[in-house]
Amino acid sequence: MTTVFTTMESPLGVLLLSGTLDGNGPAALTAVTAPGQKGALSEPAPDWVPDALPLAPAVEQLTAYFAGELTVFDLPLAPVGTEFRQQIWHALDDIPYGATVTYGELGAAAGKSPRAVRAVGGAVGANPLLVVRPCHRVMGASGALTGFAAGVDRKRWLLELERGTLF
């Protein structure tokens, strides 16, 4: 399987998008990362192939999202992670645009024990699909803006975008 990549300008900085090709259609998105994002590649891996065309739908949808014109992404996704992380990442998809949940609420939505809140936080922090899988919508138990791999200022910006306070 071939991994392709492209970059795009965004309000969060230059995003690096990667995806896998399985035939002739759009790439299944494996990662969207921002500059300086903790635990994420800042440069393409040596075996990745630059090819913007299979990632064009992702670029178009992210552009529309940042313009305040898109509230739900409709892209093929193929992030790599453990079964536990995959379950948490799928639960992220159910958080409505403009809404927030706590780590405990997210864990409960994924069918996890309330004692798994730290593991849930770890899975959220390892989300490879920044913005597309809305980890920025997860807050601390007190409602505080906690932990966001791309930085709390970017998290605040994304939440303000979704609440309509930027435009």
Distances (CA, A) of 98 to 19, 40, 53, 72, 155: 27, 25, 30, 11, 12
- Taking a C-beta distance cutoff of 8 angstroms, is the pair 131, 32 a contact? yes
Would you tell me how many other CB atoms lie within 10 Å of the CB of residue 160? 12
Question: Among the options 110, 124, 135, 161, which is catalytic?
Answer: 135
Query: Is 135 marked active-site?
Result: yes
**151 HSE (CA, 13 A, CB side):** 10
Q: Which residues are catalytic?
A: 135
